[in-house]
Amino acid sequence: MDNENILKSDGQFILSFELLQLIEWLIEHQPEELKKLIHRSLSQGLNNNILKAEEILESYSPEDMQNSVIDFFGLMEVLLLDALNERTHENVHTQFIPMVNQIDQSFCDSTVVSSSIEKATTSLEKNSKQDPQAVLYKELLKNWKPKKKAAIN
């Protein structure tokens, strides 16, 4: 979500449901970690900025302050979406482990298996209602190049 999407024309903020859930969850389940983050920030320079508040505030316009809030929530949104995407990707990959263990590596090399897993993962992320096994095996067949000297193909 970019700055234009998080701020309405009337100056009100728009936060996604996911971001609101993250904020509530952090408050409820991670207050100690938030406290540690604040302490670490204070020791790494935030305290100096707070002590120089009058100097800093003279150079900050209300728009600058508002943009800082927008940037913070925008970053939180991006980080949350990235984490959700990574988690989905990892879950899909985990589904393939039992299937990959059944593949005879002497007939299908690891590069074909890896590229097939990546393509199947992408396909499942676009349409999660598909059968993971069918999608993986379809991709394996597309990528598999049998060796002519092999006894069985």
Structural domain of residue 130, as residue ranges?
103-145
Give the containing element (helix H, strand E) for 13. Answer: none
For residues 70 and 25, membership in a common domain is answered with yes
Residue 125 contacts by C-beta under 8 Å, 6 or more apart in sequence? 88, 89, 92
Task: Identify which has the larger pLDDT, 8 or 31.
Answer: 31
Please, what is the angle between helix 17-29 and helix 62-101, to 10°? Answer: 90
Q: What pLDDT, in 10s, does the model give residues 120-137?
A: 888 887 887 888 888 888
For residues 81 and 32, membership in a common domain is answered with yes
94, part of any domain: no
Q: What pLDDT, in 10s, does the model give residues 17-38?
A: 999 999 999 999 999 999 999 9
For residues 118 and 53, membership in a common domain is answered with no
Entry pTM: 0.56
153, part of any domain: no
For residues 15 and 81, membership in a common domain is answered with yes
Task: Calculate the average pLDDT of the chain.
Answer: 82
pLDDT bin (cut points 50, 70, 90) of residue 42 is very high
152, part of any domain: no
Total domains, the chain: 2
8 Å CB contact between 5 and 73: no
For residues 4 and 52, membership in a common domain is answered with yes
150, part of any domain: no
